[in-house]
Amino acid sequence: MRSGILLALLLAALGARAAEPEVPGWKDYQAGRLAAARIAFWQAAQNGDRVAAFDLAMMDWKGEAGAADKPRAVFWLKRSAELGWTGRSTRWACWPSAAMACPSR
């Protein structure tokens, strides 16, 4: 019984560690509130969030919630890499241009 509880706690801890943290603005983006998403991504990117910097780059590249701005998109892509973004994320597949379907959150 005791070992079962310990195993359950260990599995719960591993699952919590594997989950990606919610990036500010992601729910707004999914709901189509692009202006709100852009603001949230920008604020989080300014504070060093590598995923938000990548998300902002994608919005700039595609012209979502404003005109497309390729140089600014490249800036945010470089910044996200400087912050540690490797592109290895289940969220990357959620961008509308990706071929894969979004995982449910």
Contact between 105 and 97 (Cβ < 8 Å): no
**69 inside domain:** yes
**83 inside domain:** yes
Distance from C-alpha of 92 to C-alpha of 104, rounded to nearest angstrom: 13
Q: Is 65 left (phi over 0), alpha (psi -120 to 50) or beta?
A: left
Closest CA to 94 of 16, 26, 39, 37: 26
pLDDT single digits (tens) 40-84: 999 999 999 999 999 999 999 999 999 999 999 999 999 999 999
- Whichever domain contains 84, its CATH number is 1.25.40
Distance from C-alpha of 58 to C-alpha of 92, rounded to nearest angstrom: 10
The pair of structure tokens assigned to 90 is: 């289940």
Which is higher by pLDDT, 97 or 30? 30
**98 inside domain:** yes
**6 inside domain:** no
pLDDT at 87: 78
The distance in angstroms from the start CA to the end CA of the chain is 32
**15 inside domain:** no
Give the mean pLDDT of 17-21. Answer: 52
As a whole-number percent, the residues of the chain with pLDDT over 70 amount to 63
Query: What is the torsional sign of CA 23, 95, 87, 68?
Result: negative
Number of domains in the chain: 1
**30 inside domain:** yes
101: pLDDT strictly greater than 60: no
Give the mean pLDDT of 17-39. Answer: 84
